[in-house]
Amino acid sequence: MTAIIIIGAGQAGAALAAKLRALGYQGALTMIGEETAPPYQRPPLSKAYLLGEMELERLYLRAPSFWADQNVELRLGAKATAIDPKAKTVTVDGETISYDQLALTTGSRPRTLPAAIGGDLGNVFTVRTLADVDRMAPSFTKGARALIVGGGYIGLEAAAVASKLGLKVTLIEAAPRILQRVAAPETSDYFRKLHADHGVEIIEGTGLERLLGEGRVTGARLADGREIQADVVIVGIGIIPNAELAEASGLALENGIRTDETGRTSDPAIWSAGDCASFPWKGGRIRLESVGNAIDQAELIAENMLGAGKAYEARPWFWSDQYDTKLQIAGLNTGYDQIITRKGEEGAVSYWYYRGDQLLAVDAMNDSRAYMIGKRLIEAGKSPAPSVIADPKTDLKALLKA
């Protein structure tokens, strides 16, 4: 009887285990997770869950009984400390377990502020795990002053939730504009106005010098010398792939755990999926931090573990919920040189990214129709002329048949 071990019990690990059983794999299957909670959704943590609009049980990806019913050994609150690729063993809390195939779905972790600038003060939080959100929830009280460090999607979502809960919110971004790394100026402008309309103060082009306080944060000094008061700080300055275990095991790394097009690492018996894995894409190599990628990649690897030999064809898509705005993103905008704006009904708007005549990506705000059609066009390799997209008379749906 064969044995498969999955290290990492997040979205990718859960999808991989479920797919293996759905495909008929009946061998031993163990999933190891450092958290004590069974696999759960992360996106609602800092939104619906923190707002009190979602119960804990609704976060779970599967009912806790599912794993036992599927004969998946779920080892929670457990840490894999070593892999021996030659012996094909994993050390978990001092115990050695053998595998025939191993999958690393170890995910990622938030970047933190150094202790030297106050990153270790009380009431300074990152948003990644259930425990993170449970720890910060008591500090999100009406009238409290919140400082958000980082103007990416994580920071903006945290600002939106804090504002909705009645906190006085200031967000700082060291770059010249929010979302600079991931979106066009038009999308930045949209969200800057949205947050301003909800009373959030956004300070761009100014970094953090240090947090202030003794034991517990009381404020911050900015790079321009300004000091602001804060009762709670949320740090959203990016994530780091959890690749240390892979590196210590001798696996090849490249912006995460390097895999080939099938999801296999430099060791033929070890695979990787999700936030921690980098893979070939359009002549280069990328690592995608999204729920969609975690699921799709993990499910493909489940097939390949059973011999399918399929190449992963990523179809990037993302979303962000802020106030009553739902942003949906299709594609990757890397290398764009032109933005086409298309206005929809009742304030909906979409921004279409082009490189020359090639459609790369779409940002759609409260415009699910533009998002869905844009996504299908990109996946089909179709690029309507920018002038066609810009024309408000164009029937987007008809473009799919062109």
pLDDT at residue 402 tops 80: no
Mean of pLDDT values over 280-308: 96
Task: Measure Cα distances from 215 to 63, 123, 255 in Å.
Answer: 40, 9, 35
pLDDT digits (tens, 9 = 90+) for 158-172: 999 999 999 999 999
**Count of other CB atoms within 10 angstroms of residue 150:** 25
Pick the CATH number of 112-237 from 3.50.50.60, 3.30.300.130, 3.40.190.10, 3.40.50.970: 3.50.50.60
Segment 267-271 shows an average pLDDT of: 98
Place of tokens 């959890």: 242
Residues 114-151 have pLDDT tens digits of: 999 999 999 999 999 999 999 999 999 999 999 999 99
| 284 beta partners | 281
Q: Which CATH superfamily is domain 3-109+240-305 in?
A: FAD/NAD(P)-binding domain (3.50.50.60)
pLDDT at 317: 95
Q: Which helix (H) or strand (E) holds 136?
A: helix 130-136
Quote the percentage of the chain above a pLDDT of 90. 96
CA distance 219 to 266: 47
Backbone dihedral region for residue 261 (phi beyond 0: left; psi -120 to 50: alpha; all else: beta): alpha
Arithmetic mean of pLDDT, 203-219: 97
HSE-CB of 193 using CA atoms within 13 angstroms: 6
Average pLDDT, integer, range 174-197? 98
CATH placement of domain 324-399 = 3.30.390.30
Farthest-apart Cα atoms in the chain, separation = 66
Model confidence at 401, pLDDT cuts 50, 70, 90, reads confident
Q: Is 165 helix (H, G, I), strand (E, B) or coil?
A: coil
Residues 6+ apart with CB under 8 A from 400: 373, 376, 377, 380, 382
The percent of the chain in helix, strand and coil, each rounded to the nearest 5, is 25, 30, 40
Determine contact, residues 288/255, Cβ cutoff 8 Å: no
- Full-prediction pTM beyond 0.75? yes
Question: Given this chain, do its domains 3-109+240-305 and 324-399 carry the same CATH topology?
Answer: no
When pLDDT is cut at 50, 70 and 90, the band that residue 156 belongs to is very high
> For residue 345, what pLDDT is reported?
86
Digit-coded pLDDT (tens) for 55-94: 999 999 999 899 999 999 999 999 999 999 999 999 999 9
